[in-house]
Amino acid sequence: MAKADEQLSDKVLVVIGGTTGLGLSAARAFVGEGARVVIVGRNATNAARAEKELGKQCVALAADASDAATAEAAIAKALEAFAGFHGLYHVAGGSGRKMGDGPLDQITDEGWEFTLTLNLTSLFYSNRAAVRQFLKQKAGGTVLNMSSVLGFSPSAKHFSTHAYAATKAAIIGLTRSAAAYYASHSIRFNALAPALVATPMSERAQGNEEVLKFIGTKQPLDGGRIGQPEDLDAAAIYFMSDASKFVTGQVLAVDGGWCVSEGQH
């Protein structure tokens, strides 16, 4: 039985990239606030583990977000398993560094295509699937997209993956354009823009002493540290709940002070 103080007790949410890292942390928080969730991740083992942890309020799918059919299948599963669909949180994405992303003059064609598919095309597929279902339902809905501070606040020395930055900037453009277009349908689009957070994607940075020293002043809040996935949960809950029903087209940096700090010693 739903508790009166649960912010998401009437919501059925889909989290693309919800089986590890930021997405799993958010799914855990959503369930804690009463939501029922469908989470999607590429690794079947991670999906099964997450579903077991989150219990009967969760269904997990093992699928690739860069396949156009994945988000459609996840939304269909939400309707089948929980008889509703109220919000999409797209977290899936990652670094293309190992595939050839880097400074502009060094990016390979393969690195560019891989990074755009991983971060932008996958999000386009999920957002399109969500808005089509919301329009069909004629009851509004909310989409929350994962951007990054690197989309508008670059770091030349330590985070020079320009294809990645381009995708994260493009996510903001798509989010705001869609927010404007669909506002009259009560469909909201917003984005979160974290700085460096401890996730599987950021293992390189987490193990680099020079980067950690930089982060100590670039993200000076709370003693100067790398963010944790849980640091984004409250913001995600807000945007997926009715508390933000009058908010659209916004980009919230959850960044430990990154955007207002020089990162100098």
C-alpha neighbours within 13 Å on the C-beta side of residue 61: 22
Active site residue 89: no
Tell me how many degrees the CA angle 15-17-22 measures, rounded to the nearest 5: 90
In terms of Cα–Cα distance, which of 167, 75, 70 is closest to 112?
167
Q: How far apart are CA 215 and CA 197, in angstroms?
A: 11
What are residue 63's phi and psi, to 5 degrees?
-160, 160
Across-strand partners of 249? none
209 Cβ contact partners less than 8 Å away, ≥ 6 residues apart:
none
Unique residue bearing structure tokens 């590429």? 42
The DSSP code sequence of 225-246 is: --B-GGGGHHHHHHHHSGGGTT
CB 13 within 8 A of CB 37: yes
89, 125, 164, 182: the catalytic one is: 164
Contacts from 154-157 at CB under 8 Å and sequence distance 24+? 155/214, 155/218, 155/263, 157/214
* Active-site residue set: 164
